Structure 1
Amino acid sequence: MGSNLQATEVKSQKVNNERKNPQKEFSSILKEATNILGYSKDVFDFLKEPMRFLEVNIPVQMDNGQTKIFRGYRAQHNDANGPTKGGIRFHPDVTADEVKALAGWMSLKCGITGLPYGGAKGGIVCEPRNMSANELERLSRGYVRAVSQLVGPTKDIPAPDMYTNSQIMAWMLDEYDHIREFDSPGFITGKPLVLGGSEGRETATSKGVLYTLQIVSELKNMPLEGMKVIVQGFGNVGGHLAYYLHELGVKVVGIADALGAIYDTDGLDIPDLLGRRDSFGIVSGLFDNIITNEELLEKECDVLIPAAIGGVIDEGNAHKLNCQIVIEAANGPTTKEAIQLLDDRGILVVPDILANSGGVIVSYFEWCQNNQGYYWTKETVEERLKEKIHASFLNVQHTADQFGINMKTAAYIEGIRKIAEASGLRGWIKL
């Protein structure tokens, strides 16, 4: 059954990729936002593509003795505000356009949250679920060797992303230290604590989404106790988020992983599911009554939180959603056309570049701690994260009200302003 489900997953992802190009999606909303701000076409042309884009081939000796060549990418969108910052994902569906779009979205996140960064992103086309730990280590080190001239603590700081974790960050840090011949903990974030990582980093994205939901629940007068929530995705972000919601008395009625989804109107036993999932967040294969990810999105709930891959909500299924609020925990899960349809239906969409910014915020905190050699408590990290999320949400909401637009476009406006101003002051563009 597992192999058939995996084939279904791959087919579904290919359909999504054909239906939605993330770079075109990024450019489309960017153009709308720059027009609202009255910026020239030159500003849009400058910001729609990354300033730098590197494509590399990484030779890796596999456990069977053969050498396999992996394709890797690194995009640096804009460094007018400071060094670029962004994660590295390992996934079979990684594309150049996806990495470029993710770098642009990261620039906007940094602008929205007031971080002294520009956006970057990296990715390797691979299937980590079919690779041994030794093969993943060799791949991780090979990627650092391939991009080492473009990255560094004052140039471009990587971090974990889809199917990468603190161990992979540790291997990458070690490789970079060998190349540069000095200890440089600020080169990468999301590291293990013993190597200079930050308290609260692993759960930062989930905490940020949680704080966002708490703000929305207050604004909408919807108590968290008994609220019905679906979390589509059960990896690092979705798993931690589902646990926090369960602890607060929220009724998590649906979860999904890469192979399928589970739904129960009475609520799921999240601690039990977390204890039974594998290292890639897979748990649905243990059950017979599973449904597809697509079916889960259309199930009844108060809040739908897509926390997996991009492009899962589009014009084809937006009219079928049965929720009041969508909070984007994944990157680009809702297309521009779908957001308009949901807006027309009165369904609030809290955009990804606001809701899931907790990861880059605490990565910034980690970088600051590395630079200072002084480390904060978990309570301090989470308190400062909550302050950032709250202030950023209010700024985006104010912009949405000011221009009479949805929160997605408002978030783009908030993100663009800082990048454009810094680029203009440097003499790169004229506003």
Structure 2
Amino acid sequence: MYRYFGELLTRGAGGVLASGYPAAAADSVLPASASLLRHRGYSQAVDPADDPNFFTMVEGFFDKGAAIVEDKLVEDLKTRETAEQKRSRVRGILRIIKPCNHVLSVSFPIKRDSGEWEVIEGYRAQHSQHRTPCKGDVPFGGAKAGVKINPKKYSVSATLPRRPALLGDPCGPGIDVPAPDMSTGEREMSWIADTFATVMGHNDINAHACVTGKPISQGGIHGRISATGRGVFHGIENFINEASYMSQLGMYPGFQDKTFVIQGFGNVGLHSMRYLHRFGARCVGVGELDGSIWNPKGINPKELEDYKLANGTIVGFPDSTPYEGSILEADCDILIPAASEKQLTKSNAHKIKAKIIAEGANGPTTPEADQIFLERNILVIPDMYLNAGGVTVSYFEWLKNLNHVSYGRLTFKYERDSNYHLLMSVQESLERKFGKHGGSVPVVPTSEFQARIAGASEKDIVHSGLAYTMERSARQIMRTANKYDLGLDLRTAAYVNAIEKVFKVYSEAGLIIT
């Protein structure tokens, strides 16, 4: 039932461009960046039909970043080796970082309502175990999972989600920690946690940390549901308020008077829309599979959410008109593809009118489209940074589960009392100095400070931690872009930044023994 595909090192970083030209002739017809990739043995990994699979896209973006950062990694390597030996070591480590380390495939039976039995397949890919448990870089090794099924065609049955929890050793609080994604949520995560705790973790006090995105009553954390959309907002915020980037786009900093369009009105799209609307941007269009709506005066996110809950669709939303054509090509300042991968390709990249593309979905832009956007001076805020809000707050939930106490519980009352004592001390000091005959000099906090005096709730701490994480990561990407003179190529800057961090762990933690 369990089949390991093993270490996929054959998919290393040693591929070269397929071409009928001799090497020198090929370099002469390729752009400088492509020539650099070829010279260093990295593959561009771009499908001629511009329809690569997601893994191939990531490999191509990795290769582009690796080619740029290689010289710097060689220069910073502190070993007693020749320059050629150092370069060989760097390239070897990059080849080890690039492939997916393990893929686990499971098959399990379910009984449908009709009485028919069906075999369902599931997968878990652990890209890297350089830091465990496997979970997006927070700061762990990356992993992803999926079950090959359309949940809309099956009835709710505990039999279905409980089977993947019986993976045994590959999963656990210190090994691999899944989280919700498309077509899954709190319910499914609760099922997995309960099954793991019952079957595998009955002697492990941390068993419920085996998965994140759970309901609050099952060890979840406040702010997790909206985390990805809130992260999208913070990611856009960090770049839209940066004058140096906005000047290159011919725009003024800030959200005021900015228009945006969202493709996909699921969890990510809804919460992204909600926060952008709250801070002054105007949503003029929303697209879904069954249709798109348009209103240049603005669409209210709460009203649209209520309408969809009542009708099961956004089509026919009052005060809006159906949008003919692709909503991706609508006129706006910010485009947020928050649906599925490969929505922006070379076939429509020239038609995009937005000046900022904020990738709320995973892999919405193909490599060829990405290159077209760079040539057109369009700022693409990459998915690997922008939609990391969910996994960041999942990390906070994992820490909460290991600590067995909610954020703020141990300090909430102490901080509140300390703040009030501070105000009383200030008031008494003023009265002694300026009060007439012991008259009162009241010290009254502002409404904003009053809210903070009350003490930080778990949600406040989560929101603050997420905002700080997104800001810190944005600054790292900006510094990397400036350091390597990448201009608006934030995707390559993000990959370079990630490669540098993972390379440092591999080099210094003894993961490479020679």
TM range (shorter): 0.7 to 0.9
Say whether the 8 Å CA contact 2:236–2:381 is kept in structure 1. Answer: no
Cα shift at 1:205:
0.8
1:203-229 CA-to-partner distances (Å, cap 9, x unmatched) read 111111111122222112333233110
Partner of 2:436: none
Partner of 2:179: 159
Residue in structure 2 matching 1:383, options 452, 464, 470:
464
Aligned counterparts of 1:120 and 1:203: Cα–Cα separation in 2: 21
Say whether the 8 Å CA contact 1:59–1:67 is kept in structure 2. Answer: yes
Given the alignment of the two structures, is residue 265 of structure 1 paired with residue 296 of structure 2, yes or no?
Answer: yes
After TM superposition, the structure 1 = structure 2 runs for residues 336-355 of structure 1, keeping only pairs within 5 Å, are 336-355=367-386
Cα shift at 1:301:
0.3
Say whether the 8 Å CA contact 1:34–1:43 is kept in structure 2. Answer: no
Partner of 1:207: 230
Residue in structure 1 matching 2:481, options 386, 390, 400:
400
Partner of 2:327: 296
CA 48–320 in structure 1, closer or farther in 2 if over 3 Å, else same: same
Aligned-partner SS, 1:382 = helix
CA 195–384 in structure 1, closer or farther in 2 if over 3 Å, else same: same
Partner of 1:412: 495
Partner of 1:329: 360
Aligned-partner SS, 1:253 = strand
Say whether the 8 Å CA contact 1:232–1:256 is kept in structure 2. Answer: yes
CA 64–151 in structure 1, closer or farther in 2 if over 3 Å, else same: same
Partner of 2:507: 424
Aligned counterparts of 1:255 and 1:351: Cα–Cα separation in 2: 20
Q: Is 59-68 or 357-366 further displaced after alignment? A: 59-68
- Structure 1 vs Structure 2 CA RMSD: 2.1
Cα shift at 1:340:
1.4
Given the alignment of the two structures, is residue 19 of structure 1 paired with residue 100 of structure 2, yes or no?
Answer: no
Matched letter for residue 217 of structure 1: I
Partner of 1:93: none
1:150-176 CA-to-partner distances (Å, cap 9, x unmatched) read 000000001000110001100111110
Partner of 2:195: 175
Given the alignment of the two structures, is residue 31 of structure 1 paired with residue 54 of structure 2, yes or no?
Answer: no
Say whether the 8 Å CA contact 2:93–2:506 is kept in structure 1. Answer: no
Say whether the 8 Å CA contact 2:194–2:208 is kept in structure 1. Answer: no
CA 286–56 in structure 1, closer or farther in 2 if over 3 Å, else same: farther
Cα shift at 1:344:
1.1
Given the alignment of the two structures, is residue 44 of structure 1 paired with residue 94 of structure 2, yes or no?
Answer: yes
Aligned counterparts of 1:286 and 1:175: Cα–Cα separation in 2: 42
Given the alignment of the two structures, is residue 144 of structure 1 paired with residue 165 of structure 2, yes or no?
Answer: yes
Cα shift at 1:117:
0.8
Matched letter for residue 495 of structure 2: Y
Say whether the 8 Å CA contact 1:26–1:48 is kept in structure 2. Answer: no
Residue in structure 2 matching 1:310, options 313, 330, 341:
341
Matched letter for residue 270 of structure 2: G
Cα shift at 1:149:
2.3
Matched letter for residue 378 of structure 1: K
Partner of 2:152: 129
Aligned counterparts of 2:312 and 2:321: Cα–Cα separation in 1: 15
Q: Which runs of 5+ in 2 are unaligned?
A: 1-48, 74-89, 247-251, 408-457
Aligned counterparts of 2:190 and 2:397: Cα–Cα separation in 1: 14
Aligned counterparts of 1:254 and 1:196: Cα–Cα separation in 2: 37
The number of aligned residues is 383
Q: Which runs of 5+ in 1 are unaligned?
A: 1-16, 86-105
Given the alignment of the two structures, is residue 83 of structure 1 paired with residue 113 of structure 2, yes or no?
Answer: no
TM-score w.r.t. the length of structure 2 is 0.71
Say whether the 8 Å CA contact 1:258–1:282 is kept in structure 2. Answer: no
1:65-112 CA-to-partner distances (Å, cap 9, x unmatched) read 211111111000111122101xxxxxxxxxxxxxxxxxxxx4xxx1xx
Matched letter for residue 36 of structure 1: I
Partner of 1:102: none
Partner of 1:89: none
CA 263–52 in structure 1, closer or farther in 2 if over 3 Å, else same: same
Aligned counterparts of 2:131 and 2:63: Cα–Cα separation in 1: 21
CA 357–430 in structure 1, closer or farther in 2 if over 3 Å, else same: farther
Residue in structure 1 matching 2:267, options 207, 221, 236:
236
Residue in structure 2 matching 1:55, options 102, 105, 110:
105
Matched letter for residue 131 of structure 2: N
Aligned counterparts of 1:162 and 1:212: Cα–Cα separation in 2: 21
Given the alignment of the two structures, is residue 198 of structure 1 paired with residue 224 of structure 2, yes or no?
Answer: no
Partner of 2:12: none
Aligned-partner SS, 2:468 = helix
Aligned-partner SS, 1:159 = coil
Say whether the 8 Å CA contact 1:31–1:44 is kept in structure 2. Answer: no
1:223-261 CA-to-partner distances (Å, cap 9, x unmatched) read 323311011111111111112222333211111223332
Aligned-partner SS, 1:198 = coil
Aligned counterparts of 1:51 and 1:397: Cα–Cα separation in 2: 30
Say whether the 8 Å CA contact 1:140–1:171 is kept in structure 2. Answer: yes
Partner of 1:284: 314
Aligned counterparts of 2:483 and 2:50: Cα–Cα separation in 1: 36
Q: Is 209-218 or 307-316 further displaced after alignment? A: 209-218
Say whether the 8 Å CA contact 1:204–1:362 is kept in structure 2. Answer: yes
Cα shift at 1:126:
1.0
Aligned-partner SS, 1:252 = strand
Say whether the 8 Å CA contact 1:257–1:282 is kept in structure 2. Answer: no
Say whether the 8 Å CA contact 1:229–1:252 is kept in structure 2. Answer: yes
Matched letter for residue 52 of structure 1: H
Aligned counterparts of 2:348 and 2:50: Cα–Cα separation in 1: 16
Higher RCO, Cα 8 Å, sep 6+: 1
Cα shift at 1:387:
0.6
Partner of 1:14: none
Q: Percent of counterpart pairs with the same letter?
A: 32
Partner of 1:71: 121
Q: Is 297-306 or 254-263 further displaced after alignment? A: 254-263
Matched letter for residue 161 of structure 2: S
Say whether the 8 Å CA contact 2:257–2:281 is kept in structure 1. Answer: yes
Aligned counterparts of 2:326 and 2:99: Cα–Cα separation in 1: 35
